[in-house]
Structure 1
Amino acid sequence: MPHKIGFVTNSGGKLAHQNMLQVVKEFAEANGWTVMRYIDNAASHELILRAPGLSGTEQIYVGMRTYDNANADYYNLTAAGFTGYVAGNTFAAQPGAMFSGVPAHNLRIDYWLTLNGQRLVLAMKVGTPVYESMYLGKMLPYGRPSQYPYPVVVGGMLSGEPATRFSDSTHTCWVKGGYGRYNSSSTTYPNMRLRFNDGVWKTPEAYPYSNLYFGSSSYAVRDANGFYTLTPIVLNTSQEGLLGELDGVFHISGFNNAVENTVLINGLQHVVMQDVWRTGHNDYYAIRMEA
């Protein structure tokens, strides 16, 4: 699985979050994705990509753009999913558009970037620091392609594109699901959306973050003599049941663990990330960096 680890700064006449967009564009293009649109000027920074899928014959449309305000001191990225691409349409008017903002930075962004044929994952360290991320593309559905042909996930940190700075203490990671979290089951977090066959983008739960026994300090999992278990993140709703798993992103225990750790499991490297500023035992996840 191709991956890239590095950092961007405010250089070349552009701010760090704008340079981050260029890194994603070049990385995706070099690894078999098609760039449908790339606008990089003083007025606008937009990227729309088409992924070939794991079969090499699919058309999966995702995108990113920047949005910022110097007076409010926020410099953010947008994670976007689409159902198609129309060259004459604006970014916001692309078919089936769904957006989720991701707080970023204007000065420096350290990043961990990985993709395969059907999805892209970007994690970033920004500001104080805190950790922000996004997931763009298909999950692994519990069904045949004929049954669930376009199970695309848009995972970001915010609902829509609000004027939210990285220092905001309330925003939270998409990886924990849209609702039913162990610590706030009555709250809906629409920063992870899954497209259903009826064309509706819904907010699924994400097991095990929705499970009391993983979330409670009395029952939480931990390592075994320094060896960590990766738990698949299963998307589900009370109406539709179990739907599928995130591709290459897993729950990992935070017990005696730390953000940016690398974990070798089954011969594959994974990097450990945390939910913004949170460091509880259930606030971590692992991103697979190798195939």
Structure 2
Amino acid sequence: MPGARASFLPYAALLAAIVTLCVGTSFAKTLFPLVGAQGVSAYRVGFSALILLAIWRPWRHRLSAADLRAVAMYGAVMGTMNLCFYMSIRTIPLGVAIAIEFMGPLVLAVAHSRRLIHFVWIALAVLGLGLLLPINPGAEPLDPVGVAYACAAAVMWALYIILGKRAAHLHAGRSVALGMTTAALIVAPIGIVSAGPVLFDPKIAALGLVVAVLSSAIPYSLEMIALRGIPKRSFGVLLSLEPAVGALAGLAILNERLSLTQWLAIAAIVAASAGTILSTPAEAVSEDVP
């Protein structure tokens, strides 16, 4: 029994990480009327950077100029990805935005292999994306600006994985701390200019801290626990559930009701992501799963 409990713990940690992230993002959206998407994004990356700096204290270890450039590029993409995603969920449902964003790592994973089965997953993903951009008059249209931001976030997620690999030889915690600090230096000024002095209101800032803890600190910690006990392939498959969990969180917290077509689209993209990972050689999965 203790052995079974120990083997179950990493999976429970990963599921908790996904749920916490989606709940945190849903809560973040409730703050948009107060400080805007840019302001909430500034809270998330800014407070996350402070938390990670306090934990890892990366200044105690020197980096070469090349490593600093790699971490800076990684952080810049991280910040842009966060900002684009928050801008997307201003006008489109959370689950839909996550599903579109998943296209980035999905395309990247497929690009590493040219097996015939992967074209099936590409077709399924394209079908899902097509369903999210309905062409029949009876379907509820999505805001094109929100979709564009979600697509930009997808591109940034793919670049995040690529640039993360270039910094993979460095200590993970210190690299993320420096990367998040770079992200904060980029996003925070945008949030300050957009939201103005209200961003420094102590009560609202406290809510922003909650967003950072729920959306970054807790999920990151839980994923570290999960990665110790879950094979990379299984980790990636379970992570593919995130769009569906995001849609459920959006329904429960934000009352974002999706049409049947949108639920089918999310299911198609989840299936395409899981299928891609399951049919990709193990060594490629180890490289591509963030």
Pairwise TM-score range, normalised by the shorter structure: under 0.3
| TM-score in terms of structure 1 length | 0.25
Structure with the higher fraction of residues in strand conformation: 1
| TM-score in terms of structure 2 length | 0.25
Which is higher, the Rg of structure 1 or of structure 2?
2
Q: Which structure is richer in relative contact order (CA contacts within 8 A, separation 6 or more)?
A: 2
Structure with the higher fraction of residues in helix conformation: 2
